C-alpha cells in the first residue's frame, strides 16, 4: 500500500514536471494580458503578429501591435530583445512591414502603438472617442507623462509576461516617433509622473526596465525651438536652452501640422487642460507678436520645454546610447536638434555613446533617396544588434557620418569624422564692411513660394538669382578649381542695428549657377537683439547645417530678408534692420590651402555661452 502510494506520488511528480517543461516550451498565443492574440504570418516567414486594443497605466485605450519571431521548435518562446517602433504625426501603429518583419525574423520582438489621440487610441474616428476609456485619450503632444509613459508601461507588461527582456529594449521612429524615441533614451530607466517628478522605471511585476539603445530619426530635442526658432542655438556651444524670447513661427509647417491633427487626431476642448490646449496654443502663436511679456506665451514655452522636449529632461545621468539622424533639407526638424543634444551630452559625459548621421531626408524638402535610407537603416540595425544583442563591433563613440545633398544624382559620401567639431577642417570666409538695410517689406514672394517646404518645388527648386530690392545681399567669388564642399552650419557675424522688439531676419544661403538661377542651400529665422540706443551690436547666428558642394563657377550668395514667407510667419511690427561689418563663415570638407580655404576662425561665443568640449582647443 505504501509502495503504491509512493509510486503514484512519483508518477504525479513526473507528470507535473512534464507539464512545467511543456508550458515553458509552449508558443505564445497572446500578449498584454490576452488583449492581443498572436497569429503566424506564413507570407512573412511565420513571424507572429499580435494585434488588438489594450489599456495603459491610467486606463486609456491604446491600439497596439507586437510582432514576435517565428515560434521556436524547441526551447523557450522569449524573452526577446525588443524594439519599440513609433509612428509620426498623423500616423498610427506601424504593424507588419518589411522592416519589422526583418527585425522579428532576426530574433527581436517589435512593439508599436497608435499614440493616444491617434487611430484607434481615441483618435478622431475611434468609436470609443467619447467614452470612459478615452477620458484622457486626447492628444498631449508627445508628453513625457502620457504618450511616452504609455510606451514604457506597455513594454514593461511584455517584460512581466516573459516576452521582452527588461533591460534590452530599443526605440526608434521618425518625426513624432523620433521625439518619443529621444525622450525614452533621455529617461532611460526612469518614468515621468503626472506631477513632472521622475521615478525608477519598474514593471507592474517589479522588473527593472531600461532603454538599452535608441535610433531616433528626424526628431526634435527642443520642440519650442523647432516650431518657433529665434536663432540662439549655435552648433559649437555646450548648452543652448530656449530662453525667454519667443522666436518666429514656421507658419506653413505649423499650420499644416495643426490642420492634420484637427482632422485625424483628438484635441482636448479649449480651456479643459492647460497642459495640452493645442487649439489655444495655435491661436496665440498664429496671431503673432508681441509674444514677449505675454503670460500665456511664457506658459506655453514652459510647458513645451518641461514635458515635451528631451533636451530638458533631467540629465543627471547619461542617456541611453543614441544614434540620431536628421536631414539637411528638413525645414521642420533640421540637424540643429541633434547637435544641441550631442554637444551638451558629450560636454557633460565625454564617453557617452552618442553618434550622428546627417543626409538629405526627412520632412519637406527632404528627397529621401532609397539608397541613402538603406545605408542609414543598416547603421541602425548594427546599432541595435550591438547594444541589444552584444553582436557585431562596438560603434566608435561620438562619430559623425554624413552624405551630401545633390540634385540629379546620387549623394556624395559617406564622410566620417570622430566628432562634430572635426567634420569640417577648412573654412571659406567672406567679409563685407559696408552697411545694408533690410526693409520691412522686401523680397519677391514668388521666390519665397518656390522655396516653401510645403507648397514649393522641393529640395532642388530654382528661382531667379537677381538681387531683390530691400534685401541685404552678399555674393562670394565664384568657386574656383574643383570647388568646395560646405559641411556644417553657415555662420553670420555682423554688427546689427534693430530697434524693433518684434523684428526678424530671415537668412537664405543660395547656390547661384552660371545660368543665372539659384538653388536654396540653407536657411534660418533669427530674432535679433533689440538695440534701444539705436547703436549696432555685434551679433552671431547660424543657418541650419547642410552638406552641399559648390561646383566650379558657382557662387554662394547670402540673403538677409525681413521674412521667409510663406515658410516663416511675417512679423507684426517689422522695422528696418541695418547690417554692417558682416562676415560669413562656411565650414568646408576641404583642407586649408592658403587661398580660398582658410583655417577655421575662432568661434564667437556670446555672453552666457561656453564652448562645447569638442571645440575647446
CATH number at residue 574: 2.60.120.260
Residues 6+ apart with CB under 8 A from 344: 238, 239, 240, 311, 315, 612
Cβ atoms of 17 and 10 within 8 Å: the answer is no
Q: Exposed, middle or buried: residue 210 (CB in 10 Å: 0-12, 13-18, 19+)?
A: middle
Are 130 and 271 part of one and the same domain? no
Is 353 in contact with 397 (CB distance < 8 Å)?
yes
Find out whether 37 and 29 touch, Cβ atoms under 8 Å. Answer: yes
How is 71-87 classified by DSSP, letter by letter? PPSSS----EEEEEEE-
Pairing of strands 491-498, 555-561: unpaired
Give whole-number Cα distances, 75 to 15, 24, 149, 197, 255, in Å.
Answer: 19, 7, 32, 41, 53
Residue 563 within a domain: yes
Q: Is the dihedral of CA 564, 565, 567, 573 positive or negative?
A: positive
Domain boundary among 420, 441, 459: 420
Indicate whether 121 and 106 sit together in one domain.
yes
Judge if 473 and 600 occupy the same domain: yes
- DSSP code per residue over 127-141: TTTTSGGGTT-S--S
One domain for residues 71 and 127: yes
Distance CA 216, CA 203 (A): 24
CA distance 291 to 573: 12
Distance in angstroms (rounded) separating the CA atoms of residues 267 and 146 = 14
Q: Is residue 118 situated within a structural domain? A: yes
pLDDT at residue 15 in the model: 34
Q: Is residue 2 a part of any domain in this protein?
A: no
Q: Are residues 392 and 453 in the same domain?
A: no
Residue 437 C-alpha cell reads as: 538695410
What are the cell numbers at 179?
Answer: 521625439
Residue 258, Ramachandran bin (φ over 0: left; ψ between -120 and 50: alpha; else beta): alpha
- Do 409 and 430 belong together in one domain? no
Q: Is 103 exposed, middle or buried (0-12, 13-18, 19+ CB in 10 A)?
A: buried
- Beta-carbon count within 10 A of 552 CB: 12
> For residue 12, what pLDDT is reported?
36
Contact 174, 85 (CB under 8 A): no
Note the pLDDT of residue 18.
Answer: 34
Rounded to an integer, what distance in angstroms lies between the CA atom of residue 235 and that of residue 227?
18
pLDDT recorded at residue 4: 35
- 92: nearest Cα among 59, 67, 123, 128: 123
Q: Are residues 515 and 604 in the same domain?
A: yes
Domain assignment present for 168: yes
- Asked if residue 604 belongs to a domain, the reply is yes
> What gap in Å lies between CA 170 and CA 403, rounded to an integer?
25
- How far, in Å, are 38, 66, 109 from residue 164 at the CA level? 15, 10, 7
Could you tell me the CATH number of the domain that includes residue 103?
3.40.50.1820
What's residue 20's pLDDT? 35
Instruction: Identify the pLDDT of residue 22.
Output: 35
Instruction: Check whether residue 317 and residue 297 sit in a common domain.
Output: no
Q: Which long-range contacts (CB under 8 A, 24 or more apart) does 394-400 make?
A: 395/321, 395/323, 395/353, 395/355, 396/355, 397/351, 397/352, 397/353, 397/354, 397/355, 398/346, 398/352, 398/354, 398/355, 398/614, 399/355, 399/356, 400/355, 400/356, 400/357, 400/358
Domain contains 557: yes
Residue-number span of the structural domain to which 41 is assigned: 25-227+308-420
Single residue among 382, 398, 420 that ends a domain in this structure:
420
> What pLDDT sits at residue 533?
76
| The total number of structural domains that make up the chain | 3
Residue 371, judged by CB atoms within 10 A of its CB (0-12, 13-18, 19+), counts as exposed
pLDDT for the residue numbered 98: 97
Radius of gyration of the CA atoms of the chain, in A: 27
Q: 86 and 130 in one domain?
A: yes
Contact 262, 270 (CB under 8 A): no
Three-class SS state of 388: helix
What the block records as the C-alpha cell of 358 is 546627417
Which value, to the nearest 10 degrees, does the dihedral of the CA atoms of residues 258, 134, 140, 264 take?
-20
Rounded distance, CA 148 to CA 216, Å?
14
Cα 395 to Cα 343, 385, 399, 464, 587: the distances in Å are 18, 11, 8, 45, 26
Cα angle 333, 339, 340; round to 5: 90
Q: What is the per-residue pLDDT for 25?
A: 56
- The model carries a pTM of 0.95
Q: Are 387 and 482 in the same domain?
A: no
Handedness of CA 288, 289, 295, 300 (dihedral sign): positive
Kind of pairing, strands 109-113 and 80-86? Answer: parallel
In a domain, 244, yes or no: no
Identify the domain boundary among 420, 448, 473: 420
The cell for 598 is 582658410
Taking the C-alpha atoms of residue 15 and residue 5, their distance in angstroms, rounded to an integer, is 15
Dihedral sign, Cα of residue 431, residue 435, residue 441, residue 446: negative
Walk along the chain (617 residues) in steps of 10 and give the mean pLDDT of each run: 35 35 68 98 98 98 98 95 98 98 98 98 97 97 98 98 98 98 99 98 98 98 98 97 95 98 98 98 97 95 98 98 98 98 98 98 98 98 98 97 97 98 98 98 97 97 97 98 97 97 98 98 97 90 98 98 98 98 98 96 97 94
Unique residue bearing C-alpha cell 586649408: 592
- Write the secondary structure of 529-553 as one string of H (helix), E (strand) and C (coil): CCCCCCCCEEEEEECCCEEEEECCC
**Is 18 a domain residue?**
no
Q: Is there a single domain that holds both residue 255 and residue 222?
A: no
Contact 309, 144 (CB under 8 A): no
Please tell me whether residues 409 and 317 are part of one structural domain.
yes
Amino acid at each position: 500500500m505504501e509502495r503504491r502510494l509512493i509510486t503514484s506520488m512519483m508518477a504525479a511528480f513526473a507528470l507535473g514536471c512534464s507539464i512545467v517543461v511543456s508550458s515553458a516550451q509552449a508558443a505564445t498565443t497572446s500578449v498584454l494580458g490576452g488583449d492581443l492574440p498572436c497569429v503566424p504570418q506564413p507570407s512573412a516567414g511565420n513571424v507572429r503578429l499580435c494585434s488588438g486594443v489594450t489599456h495603459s497605466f491610467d486606463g486609456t485605450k491604446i491600439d497596439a501591435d507586437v510582432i514576435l519571431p517565428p515560434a521556436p521548435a524547441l526551447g523557450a518562446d522569449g524573452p526577446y530583445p525588443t524594439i519599440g517602433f513609433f509612428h509620426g504625426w498623423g500616423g498610427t501603429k506601424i504593424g507588419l512591414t518589411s522592416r519589422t518583419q526583418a527585425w522579428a525574423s532576426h530574433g527581436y520582438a517589435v512593439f508599436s502603438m497608435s499614440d493616444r489621440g491617434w487611430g484607434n487610441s481615441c483618435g478622431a474616428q475611434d468609436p470609443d472617442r467619447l467614452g470612459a476609456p478615452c477620458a484622457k485619450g486626447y492628444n498631449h503632444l508627445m508628453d513625457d507623462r502620457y504618450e511616452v509613459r504609455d510606451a514604457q508601461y506597455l513594454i514593461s507588461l511584455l517584460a512581466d509576461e516573459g516576452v521582452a527582456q527588461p533591460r534590452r529594449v530599443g526605440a526608434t521612429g521618425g518625426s513624432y516617433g523620433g521625439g518619443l524615441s529621444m525622450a525614452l533614451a533621455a529617461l532611460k530607466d526612469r518614468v515621468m509622473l503626472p506631477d513632472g517628478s521622475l521615478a525608477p522605471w519598474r514593471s507592474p511585476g517589479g522588473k527593472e526596465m531600461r532603454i538599452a539603445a535608441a535610433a531616433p530619426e528626424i526628431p526634435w530635442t527642443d520642440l519650442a525651438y523647432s516650431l518657433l526658432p529665434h536663432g540662439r542655438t549655435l552648433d559649437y556651444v555646450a548648452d543652448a536652452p530656449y530662453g525667454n524670447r519667443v522666436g518666429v513661427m514656421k507658419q506653413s509647417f505649423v499650420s499644416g501640422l495643426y490642420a492634420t491633427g484637427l482632422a485625424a487626431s483628438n484635441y482636448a476642448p479649449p480651456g479643459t487642460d492647460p497642459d495640452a490646449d493645442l487649439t489655444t496654443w495655435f491661436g496665440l502663436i498664429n496671431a503673432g507678436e508681441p509674444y514677449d511679456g505675454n503670460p500665456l506665451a511664457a506658459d506655453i514655452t514652459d510647458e513645451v520645454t518641461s514635458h515635451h522636449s528631451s533636451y530638458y529632461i533631467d540629465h543627471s545621468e547619461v542617456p541611453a546610447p543614441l544614434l540620431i539622424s536628421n536631414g539637411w533639407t528638413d525645414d521642420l526638424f533640421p540637424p540643429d536638434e541633434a547637435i544641441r543634444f550631442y554637444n551638451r551630452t558629450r560636454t557633460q559625459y565625454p564617453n557617452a555613446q552618442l553618434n550622428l548621421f546627417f543626409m538629405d531626408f526627412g520632412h519637406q524638402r527632404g528627397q529621401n533617396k532609397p539608397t541613402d535610407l538603406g545605408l542609414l537603416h543598416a547603421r541602425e540595425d548594427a546599432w541595435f544588434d550591438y547594444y541589444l544583442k552584444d553582436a557585431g563591433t562596438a560603434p566608435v563613440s561620438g562619430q559623425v557620418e554624413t552624405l551630401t545633398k545633390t540634385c540629379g544624382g546620387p549623394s556624395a559620401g559617406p564622410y566620417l569624422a570622430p566628432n562634430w567639431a572635426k567634420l569640417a577642417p577648412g573654412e571659406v570666409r567672406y567679409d563685407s564692411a559696408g552697411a545694408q538695410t533690410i526693409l520691412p517689406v522686401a523680397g519677391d514672394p514668388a521666390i519665397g513660394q518656390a522655396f516653401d517646404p510645403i507648397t514649393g518645388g522641393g529640395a532642388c527648386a530654382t528661382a531667379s538669382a537677381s538681387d531683390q530690392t530691400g534685401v541685404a545681399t552678399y555674393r562670394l567669388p565664384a568657386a574656383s578649381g574643383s570647388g568646395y564642399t560646405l559641411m556644417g552650419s553657415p555662420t553670420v557675424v555682423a554688427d546689427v542695428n534693430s530697434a524693433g522688439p518684434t523684428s526678424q531676419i530671415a537668412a537664405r544661403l543660395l547656390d547661384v549657377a552660371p545660368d543665372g538661377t539659384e538653388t536654396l542651400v540653407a536657411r534660418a529665422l533669427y530674432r535679433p537683439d533689440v538695440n534701444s540706443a539705436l547703436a549696432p551690436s555685434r551679433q552671431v547666428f547660424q543657418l541650419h547645417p547642410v552638406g552641399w558642394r559648390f561646383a566650379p563657377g558657382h557662387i554662394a550668395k547670402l540673403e538677409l530678408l525681413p521674412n521667409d514667407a510663406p515658410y516663416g510667419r511675417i512679423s507684426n511690427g517689422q522695422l528696418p534692420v541695418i547690417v554692417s561689418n558682416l562676415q560669413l563663415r562656411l565650414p568646408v570638407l576641404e583642407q586649408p590651402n592658403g587661398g580660398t580655404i582658410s583655417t577655421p576662425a575662432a568661434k564667437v561665443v556670446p555672453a552666457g555661452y561656453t564652448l562645447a568640449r569638442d571645440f575647446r582647443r
